[in-house]
Homo-oligomer: A and B are copies of this chain.
């Protein structure tokens, strides 16, 4: 293990996993597989519990700000575990000298996003550190959701079998490119907007109408490639995805080519990967596409019986390549 923490330890990729495994999981006796939320069954209730810190730079970007992002992120972590997100706790670490007006704007959009999603912000904390000791503002949100006790924790993907279909609810990479475009030091301008959104209502509609939703994960830090790799090693199956079917907006595609990024590794905050029992994919696509947040949904691949633990990409030009877990970080502080 490295002697010092590097930015790559925060990438969501290999080093993040190594850090979590070697430093935290063993010591804290955490139960694996680690998923977006921990499921608590206690005195008749089943609840999901999650936390995330947000250190996005810049704080304001096209399509949102750090506050909206924090609320959406926590809601989505709960929703993909099959829970109905209900309560959020929020903790602010603020740099001395931070403009009150900006804090008000951020609190406004947190309140707005929570109200839209039907979630309550119920408790919190505020710490202030001396000028230069943090970068403007960090937000940590934690959330509690309730599950129908009959629903298995779908984040573990236990019922997945070969032939099951992979569905994504829209184009990838917009959040990361929007953040990048908002950084003043970047030499390009873009009209790409972050996809930052709360997916709980969309996911609820799908879960209510479909019996064969076998896995969900929100596609955030580390992008689709990371989620697919985590899934394939968790269920010890192979996964095949077709590059030509993965929705990516033209402007994002163009900027990725120009800047040397692979959109399959870029962060999102309004995208969910679903694994759906074969035969039900058309129904799921129909429900998703009837909602603005799922309008561009696509079936992008399936679970295969061989290549256990590997993710294979059928490329647009007709080849095949292994889509590996990212070793390092493409972009720091995107969420």
Chain A: residues with CB nearer than 8 A to chain B? Answer: 1-10, 16, 19-20, 23-24, 27-31, 34, 37-38, 40, 42-45, 47, 49-55, 57, 86-87, 89-101, 103-104, 107-108, 110-111, 114, 120-130, 132-135, 138, 140, 142, 144, 146, 332-333
Question: 23 pairs across A/B with beta carbons < 8 Å?
Answer: A3-B101, A4-B98, A5-B96, A9-B94, A16-B126, A20-B126, A28-B107, A30-B121, A38-B123, A40-B144, A42-B86, A44-B44, A49-B123, A51-B142, A54-B127, A55-B93, A55-B133, A129-B332, A129-B333, A132-B132, A134-B135, A134-B138, A140-B140
- Asked if A96 contacts B7 (CB within 8 A), the reply is yes
CB distance from A291 to the nearest CB of B (A): 26
CB distance from A310 to the nearest CB of B (A): 26
- Asked if B110 contacts A5 (CB within 8 A), the reply is no
- Asked if A332 contacts B27 (CB within 8 A), the reply is no
Q: Give me the 8 closest cross-chain CB pairs, A-B, nearest first.
A: A10-B128, A142-B142, A51-B89, A140-B140, A28-B121, A38-B122, A133-B135, A38-B123
- Asked if A34 contacts B123 (CB within 8 A), the reply is yes
Q: How many angstroms between the C-alpha atoms of A86 and B40 in the bound complex? A: 10
Picked from B20, B95, B122, the residue with its CB within 8 Å of the CB of A49 is B122
Chain B residues contacting A7 (CB-CB under 8 Å) are 96, 128, 130
Chain B residues contacting A50 (CB-CB under 8 Å) are 89, 123
Chain B residues contacting A38 (CB-CB under 8 Å) are 87, 89, 122-123
Chain B residues contacting A120 (CB-CB under 8 Å) are 28-29
Chain B residues contacting A332 (CB-CB under 8 Å) are 128-130
CB distance from A104 to the nearest CB of B (A): 6
Total identical chains:
2
Q: How many angstroms between the C-alpha atoms of A293 and B307 in the bound complex? A: 57
- Asked if B5 contacts A98 (CB within 8 A), the reply is yes
CB distance from A282 to the nearest CB of B (A): 34
- Asked if A6 contacts B49 (CB within 8 A), the reply is no
Q: How many angstroms between the C-alpha atoms of A268 and B305 in the bound complex? A: 58
Chain B residues contacting A138 (CB-CB under 8 Å) are 93, 134, 138
Picked from B42, B53, B110, the residue with its CB within 8 Å of the CB of A146 is B42
- Asked if B133 contacts A51 (CB within 8 A), the reply is no
CB distance from A316 to the nearest CB of B (A): 33
Picked from B24, B47, B93, B333, the residue with its CB within 8 Å of the CB of A53 is B93
CB distance from A50 to the nearest CB of B (A): 6
Q: How many angstroms between the C-alpha atoms of A99 and B9 in the bound complex? A: 12
Q: How many angstroms between the C-alpha atoms of A44 and B111 in the bound complex? A: 28
- Asked if A140 contacts B28 (CB within 8 A), the reply is no
- Asked if A133 contacts B134 (CB within 8 A), the reply is yes
- Asked if A51 contacts B90 (CB within 8 A), the reply is yes
Residue of B nearest to A103 (CB): B23
